[in-house]
Structure 1
Amino acid sequence: MMFTDDQLALQDAARRFARERLLPRYLQREIDAAFEPGLVQEMGAMGLIGIDLPEQYGGMGASAVTAGIIAEELAYGDFNVSALAVVQSLCGTIVARNGAEELKADWLPRVCRGEATFALSITEPRAGSDATALRLRARKDGDDYVLDGEKASTSFAGQASAYIVFARLGEGTGSSGVTAFLVPATADGLSTTRYRDVGSHASGRGSVFFDGVRISASHRLGAEGRGFTEVMAGFDFSRALIALQCIGAAQASIDEAWAYSAEREAFGGPIAQYQGVTFPLVEGETQIAAARQLAYHALALRDAGQPHTVEAAMIKWFGPRTAFDVIHQCLLTFGHYGWSMDLPHQQRMRDVMGLEIGDGTAQIMKLIVARARVGRAADPKRQAAAA
């Protein structure tokens, strides 16, 4: 895909920031399990957060493709910093499209400046891939809503300034009654825990508990019962961005492996002279290039107002898996040096692996594509009913 001059300028700024500011501390942020003070505000000052959000709320009104460029470049330096930017774009878009004017004017400029952050809370202990099986309850009480229940697997739990929460209003089933709310982290009755995960320690993941959390009706996002529709539309956007996160991380490992193959000597010369070393890297470079094109194609379709659910689902399963395999091969290229916590390949593998699960597993993504191709014949509920 060809980028405009403005996109190339933004790409260059994000690339320099990622390599000079993020990459040197990638491993340290994992150890600290946190971003260093001031980093998010620094990104906000550079326009690297919420770049796709409307200008009136502090964003640049940039295209989805431009948001993808930023996500990929940031992930080259630090996968988890890029994840923060992706989550702000996803949640910020939900707020911008569905929030009351006063709510948008309060929250979105602060998010774009890096002074506040959102987290998305949809998954529950018994509702992962089946996002319609939500049990967190919302009930009306005068002009307020009261939330009770638990959300699981929330990235940035305990760190975010507010949570975009999806709860069931009433006694419906499926997507019926699912309603979205913006819940400040300071709300009475809200508490969080943090998981001990395989990777992505800097961004973190945990549960969010709601014990009689009272939220003003002004914090409802969209109409009652429309929450599920809104979040599903947002996932088509975030899935392509997630793939580009993984691609950015894989590209960093490939570049490092190429440099090492030219420097490392064995049997009287650089190991790059051996096809057994270079061909796997060529294959990885090719696979990543193909994944990159599909990701930007999905985002370009979004910018053109065209359907892109299938393309987003394709790249959501293909991008993380491909990136994991490529990073693994890069680790092996370094030999016994690669088998070290002091090099970043092991961390990139662990970080990327998390997104083989988050925002939709490969199985769910493939089911979306299959249903688009053969309709109800690929629907397991239909087959069960027929039996």
Structure 2
Amino acid sequence: MNFDFDTETEAFRQHLRSFAQTHLAPHYLADGRAGEFHAGLREELAQLGLFGLLIPEELGGQGASKTVSGVVCEEIARADFNAGWLITNALLVSDIINTHGTDEQRKRWLPAIAAGEQIPAIGLTEPGHGTDAGALEMKAERDGDGWRLTGEKTSISLGMHSDVALVFARTGGPGAKGISGFYVPLTAKEVSRAPFRDIGGRPIGRAAIHFDGLYVPQEDMLGEEGKGFTSVMQGFDYSRALIALLCIGAGQASIDEALEYATQRHAFGQPIGKFQGVAFPLVEYATHLRAARLLSYEVLWRVDNGMPHTMEGAMVKWWVPRLAVDAAHEALLTFGQLGYSEEFPHSQRMRDMMGMEIGDGTAQVSKIVVARQLLGREFAP
């Protein structure tokens, strides 16, 4: 058993940390206040090959492992949580396309993602169906050799920024088996968008997207008809580890900053780190984050080795976002009145990470997934 990254991955991790601290961290707070990513971010991330990590080299990508994709998410989010989400979304969509798309679809769609020319979104959640995504109502009706999409998607991350979206709609009867996936442009006249005013993750541009009879040719259906729900759920099993590592990167950054502050700030004639009331909570969060990090990388190791990972993915999804939010909160308290200022990043990290307690599976449904794995469906909720 080896807990170290290989030499190449470790060198890449260190390079990413240096890049992120130099080019991303200085923009994090300002981008959050402005509610948009700073100019040039997409191009910088694309030049590093981060959008195309999981895309085969012959299609313009890096052909990297899932473990390496986790390293990227952790290190980017350590400097800028929202920039990390920009990458994570591209990784999820590209992985679903690479796994379930035809050769023609992969050649047509993946190079643009790898180059950062197109930012993709996932269109699954609807106003009446979030966790219960298998009951979605958006219609895909036959029209000649294609389909027309009618309905609304909501809470779509990057919905205001994306050029294309992998949209899931009902092509058949009720339930998950009646759902198919379509890769569609968001610039068509039949598509309209409306932004949300969120307390965190503002640069991500969460949006509601309405489709008014958008025509989609048959060749833009991803995978087989009626198999769309399965493809996205399999993708979520993997992306939940990425979400966890985004949160770990940001949460660990706050704890590291608080530990450094505890050596510099003096009270009652000594550094505040000498007080157990300051040191012990930071020790506890450092311990929990370290354990969570190992479990998150175990998920990705399992994916890379073709092993089951649904349970472990659900474990980190219910546990880590809340853990990281609480860690950033403890860091804020360590800084005292300074931490309460918007000049420090802890409150923004808290707000940004809080959204991950909701998106891509709530803690409640994730615990149901784990319970069914441990107890069996007969004895679980």
Residue 332 of structure 1: aligned partner: 333
Which residue of 1 is the match for residue 98 of structure 2?
Answer: 96
Tell me the CA shift for residue 318 of structure 1: 0.8
Which one is further off, 362-371 or 33-42? Answer: 33-42
In structure 2, give the amino acid aligned to 1:230: S
Counterpart for residue 363 of structure 2: 362
Deviation at 1:302, TM superposition (A): 0.6
What stretches of structure 2 of length at least 5 have no aligned partner?
none
1:138 matched to 2:134: no
Distance in 2 between residues matched to 1:217 and 1:379, nearest whole Å: 40
- Partner AA of 2:80 in structure 1: D
Match of 2:252 in 1: 251
Q: Which moved more, 1:94-103 or 1:80-89?
A: 94-103
Report the Cα distance in structure 1 between the residues aligned to 2:278 and 2:119, rounded to whole angstroms.
Answer: 43
1:350 corresponding residue in structure 2: 351
- Residue identity matched to 2:350: M
CA distance in 2 between partners of 1:160 and 1:6 (Å): 32
Q: Distance in 2 between matches of 1:102 and 1:299?
A: 28
User: For residues 11 and 113 of structure 1, what CA distance do their matches in structure 2 show?
Assistant: 21
Within-5 A mapping of 1:199-238:
199-238=200-239
Verify the 8 A CA contact 1:100 1:218 in the aligned structure 2.
no
Q: How far has the Cα of 1:298 moved from its partner?
A: 0.7
Runs of 4+ in structure 1 deviating by more than 6 angstroms, as ranges, are none
Paired residue secondary structure (1:23):
helix
Equivalents in 2 of 1:42, 1:115: separation in Å? 12
Q: CA RMSD in A?
A: 1.1
Question: Helix, strand or coil: the match of 2:176?
Answer: coil
Greater Cα offset, 216-225 or 31-40: 31-40
How much has 1:101 moved relative to structure 2? 3.1
**Higher mean Cα deviation, 261-270 or 316-325?**
261-270
- State the 1:13 CA deviation: 1.6
CA contact (8 A) 1:57 1:108 kept: yes
- C-alpha displacement at 1:114, in angstroms? 1.4
In structure 2, how many angstroms separate the alpha carbons of the residues matched to 1:158 and 1:352?
20
> Identity over aligned residues, as a percent?
47
1:179 counterpart = 2:171 = no
User: How many Å separate the matches in 2 of 1:56 and 1:188?
Assistant: 33
Counterparts of 1:21-60 in structure 2 under 5 Å?
A: 21-60=23-62
Distance 2:372 2:285 in 1: 30
Code of the aligned partner of 1:7 = T
1:281 paired residue number: 282
How far residue 379 of structure 1 moved from its aligned partner, in angstroms, is: 5.2
Aligned to 2:170: 168
Q: Are 2:54 and 2:69, in contact at CA under 8 Å, matched by a contact in 1?
A: yes
Give deviations 1:28-49, integer Å, cap 9, x for gaps. Answer: 0011211122211111111122
Contact 1:14–1:48 (Cα < 8 Å) also in 2: no
Segments of 5+ residues of structure 1 without an aligned counterpart are 381-387
The Cα shift of 1:319 comes to: 0.8
Match of 1:6 among 2, 5, 8: 8
Separation (CA, whole Å) in 2 of partners of 1:9 and 1:260: 28
Contact 1:95/1:104 (<8 A) preserved: yes
User: Do the aligned residues in 2 keep the contact of 1:80 with 1:203 (CA within 8 Å)?
Assistant: yes
Instruction: Give runs of aligned pairs for residues 258-337 of structure 1, distance below 5 A.
Output: 258-337=259-338
Counterpart residue number, 2:88:
86
CA distance in 2, matches of 1:41, 1:116: 11
3-state SS, counterpart of residue 192 of structure 1 = strand
User: Which stretch shows the higher mean deviation, 263-272 or 203-212?
Assistant: 263-272
1:265, distance to aligned residue in structure 2 (A): 1.4
| Whole-Å separation in 2 of the counterparts to 1:210 and 1:327 | 39
Q: CA deviation at 1:378?
A: 4.4
Residue pair 2:27, 2:38 contacting (<8 A) in 1 also: no
What displacement does 1:215 show? 0.8
- SS at 1:247 equivalent: helix
SS of 1:276 mapped into structure 2: helix
Counterpart Cα distance in 1 of 2:100 and 2:301: 23
* Residues 152 and 207 in structure 1, CA contact (< 8 A), matched pair in contact too: yes
TM-score (norm 2): 0.97
Q: CA deviation at 1:50?
A: 2.5
Change in CA separation of 1:378 and 1:188 when aligned onto 2, cut-off 3 Å? farther
Distance 2:259 2:156 in 1: 36
Whole-angstrom distance in 1 between the partners of 2:72 and 2:248: 12
Q: Which moved more, 1:97-106 or 1:299-308?
A: 97-106
Alignment size in residue pairs: 379
In 2, the alpha carbon distance for the partners of 1:266 and 1:355 equals 36
- Which shifted more, 19-28 or 52-61? 52-61
CA distance in 1, matches of 2:72, 2:222: 27
Q: Report if aligned partners of 1:107, 1:116 keep a CA contact under 8 Å in 2.
A: no
For residues 197-239 of structure 1, the C-alpha deviation after alignment (integer angstroms, 9 at most, x for no partner) is 1100011211110001001111110010000110010001100
- Is residue 99–residue 219 contact of structure 1 (8 Å, CA) maintained in 2? no
CA distance in 2, matches of 1:284, 1:297: 20
- Given that residues 154 and 207 in structure 2 are in contact (C-alpha distance below 8 angstroms), is that contact kept between their aligned partners in structure 1? yes
